[in-house]
A = this chain, B = another copy of it.
Amino acid sequence: MAPSATTLKGQPLDKVLLEAMLKRRLFYTPSFEIYGGVAGLYDYGPPGCALQANIIDQWRKHFILEEDMLEVDCTVLTPHEVLKTSGHVDKFADWMCKDPKNGEIMRADHFVEAVLEARLRGDKEARGQAIVEKEADPKKKKKKAKSEAVKLDDAVVTEYEEVLAKIDNYDGPELGQLIKKYELKNPETGVLPSDPVAFNLMFQTSIGPSSNLAGYLRPETAQGQFLNFAKLLEFNQSGMPFASASIGKSYRNEISPRAGLLRVREFLMAEIEHFVDPEGGKKHPRFTEVEDIELVLLDRDTQLSGKTATKSIKIGEAVKTKLVDNETLGYFIARIHLFMIKIGVDVSKMRFRQHMANEMAHYAADCWDCELLTSSGWVECVGCADRSAYDLSVHAKKTGAPLLVRQQREVPLVIEEWQIDVEKKKFGPLFKKDARTVEGALEATTQEQREKLAKELSDNGKITLDVAGVGNGQVEITKDSIKIEFRKRTENVREFTPNVIEPSFGIGRTLYALLEHNFWTRASDGGDEARGVLSFPPIVAPTKVLIVPLSSNVQFKPNLKKLSQRLRGLGISSRVDDSSASIGKRYSRNDELGTPFGITVDFQTLQDQTLTLRDRDSTRQVRAEEDKIVDAIKSLADGSKTWVDIEAELPKFEGQEIEVAER
């Protein structure tokens, strides 16, 4: 049983209330709203921007600094040829279909899903069952199709449910077949949509004044990292394994984005490319540090059998049983898990789902998504893919650049093998224009073939070889023009193309899930409507401390200034609210902004330099001299103490002024 959408305190999540609050507090807002907006584009206002910056800051500490990754910043503009080679020009596409009647363009998988789900809802209605909202995937389902109360056969219900469980596994023609097989008509027009066609998701532009260099906005930050591989390896003084990392915007021209921050056309990514030797099982030197971490996994086979049941398992066990392919992949899955918890994700709303075969990107060998549960269902926030040697290989092949690792062998490798030497002086005149073709055919022979050819040569003084396209397809080569011998060869250097493990974070989706996971509502004393709170951990909270003077009296100004300067000196962001609203109102506003701590400056402060400190989550307060309060904030902000510790150390405060204000 997966949990349904609730607040941090287990209350049913009132999404309308949350969204109104996020809008009011300007966490984010549709871009170009005064021009009517553009689907899939959002701007972050000050608290959203600070939250994003703090998530990125933690990400940099947790991944880049912790493991000395090499951070790079590559361009978004990318020439056609690069993305042609990487496969994105040909394969980075979604299937779309068009309603022939009203011209609506829809994502084919979303359409199939929406119509089947509507039929299942209608069936439940007809059977008089309560409709429990399936946790749909907001990446796919955009509009809820209207349902009619029509009872279906039990077998049909089962069939539909199985289709939905593996909806990500169908390609375009298969989706087209489903549309025809089940007669999936667009509920808005009553007609079948067109056959699905591929729509490339990259934004195209042209570079330079003569418009002859086609380019795209990158769909991922990864390619820039791959192209710089040789330089990065050198910068790393040839040390392996190592990782590069990049934080930056990427772009996907979504067909019809409608899910807020969860499906946008311009988004911030944070991507790691960890380069690892493919030999030796892709071990990771720090795997032992994480092997006992327990994760919730939803594997490929479970999904293909039409189920969504997860299992809780230690990552060490998952790698041992090959559920997760290798240590490096497992290491990063565990590190992602730890990061998510650190920034405030609700661990009961997190799972790792394995991609099914057809679902995987064209470059991936295995992939696990970190999914977070939101009011729109399970959302892929991080992909953790094993891209094997795919990217480095295709770019090396296309450009001839040596995107590989050369390692001195500790023990030279001695290879005994059949080798063929060509006597160029005789060989050339013998075959003339066909000489290279014949030589190519010789080189292409296997060890077994060479052994036979050697015998033939020694027995007959010549060999007969099939060479397509030369003469009648067979040539004779005499022993004066070639030698075939069994010899030893010593390799001192080993060359290999590293494999790539890629944890790839969608920062906007993670940020949105974080908003939902940390949201709850507090009953107000006065019987007004419940007030929203965002209980972010201090490390990601947009502002750490709210400083409120009792009133806008100028007497308080010097204290306010001194206090904010002192906090700034400690790297703790604060904001003064000296508006005329009541203290309670001002605190309430900052609960909505997720500010964890509040300091009140009142008339007593002017006499004895004491301050009250308020905890956002409990609304409880303590009072002490400035030094002690600042120390308390410092240890709360860096996580070395909790509010309970502080309450044990400093005197509780329940002064009248605040009581009045809290009304």
Contacts and interface: CB of A to CB of B under 8 A. Distances in A.
A77 B249 CA distance: 11
A586 to B, nearest CB: 10
Contacts of A265: 77, 207
Contacts of A325: none
Best-buried of A41, A78, A199 by chain B (most CB within 10 Å): A41
A96 B208 CA distance: 12
B208 A253 contact: yes
Given A227-B33, A573-B65, A207 B73 contact: no
Contact of A105 (B25, B46, B210, B248): B210
Contacts of A76: 76, 249, 266
Given A45-B70, A72-B44, A235-B46, A79 B209 contact: no
Q: How many copies altogether?
A: 2
A237 interface: yes
Contacts of A32: 78-79, 82, 227
A26 B235 contact: yes
Interface string A22-44: 00011001011111001101111
Nearest to A61: B568
Given A203-B205, A228-B43, A49 B77 contact: no
A420 B419 CA distance: 105
B38 A213 contact: yes
A87 interface: no
A569 B403 CA distance: 36
A208 B35 CA distance: 17
Q: Is the interface of A mostly helix, strand, loop or mixed?
A: mixed
Interface residues of A, number: 75
A74 interface: yes
A611 interface: no
A120 interface: no
B38 A79 contact: yes
B43 A77 contact: no
Contacts of A204: 205-206
Nearest to A69: B46
A405 interface: no
A560 to B, nearest CB: 12
Contact of A235 (B45, B205, B210): B45
A65 B542 CA distance: 13
A321 interface: no
Interface in A541-594: 568, 571, 573, 575, 579
A42 B227 CA distance: 12
Contacts of A78: 32
A207 B38 contact: yes
A32 B73 CA distance: 13
Nearest to A246: B49
A255 interface: yes
A102 interface: no
B231 A45 contact: yes
Highest count of chain B CB atoms <10 Å: which of A38, A266, A575: A38
A480 interface: no
Nearest to A37: B79
A48 interface: yes
A579 B50 CA distance: 39
Interface string A207-245: 111100101010000001001101110010100000000
A43 B266 contact: no
A399 interface: yes
Nearest to A207: B38
A235 B78 CA distance: 38
B237 A579 contact: yes
A52 interface: yes
Nearest to A268: B73
A519 interface: no
A81 interface: yes
Contacts of A224: 31, 43
A96 B82 CA distance: 29
A72 B403 CA distance: 39
B231 A75 contact: no
A397 to B, nearest CB: 11
Nearest to A46: B70
A159 interface: no
A49 B35 contact: no
Contacts of A48: 73
For A31, A68, A251, the residue with the greatest tally of chain B CB atoms inside 10 Å of its CB is: A31
Contacts of A52: 73
A203 B70 CA distance: 30
Nearest to A42: B75
- Of A52, A75, A203, A217, the most chain B CB neighbours within 10 A belong to A75
A256 interface: yes
Contacts of A206: 203-204
A526 to B, nearest CB: 22
The 5 closest A-B pairs by CB, nearest first: A34-B401, A44-B73, A43-B74, A34-B399, A46-B70
Given A31-B74, A46-B72, A75-B266, 13 more contacts: A25-B235, A26-B231, A34-B227, A38-B79, A41-B77, A43-B72, A44-B74, A45-B228, A46-B235, A52-B73, A96-B209, A105-B209, A217-B217
15 contacts: A29-B228, A29-B231, A32-B79, A32-B227, A35-B398, A38-B79, A38-B207, A44-B73, A45-B235, A46-B70, A49-B71, A75-B266, A76-B249, A77-B266, A249-B249
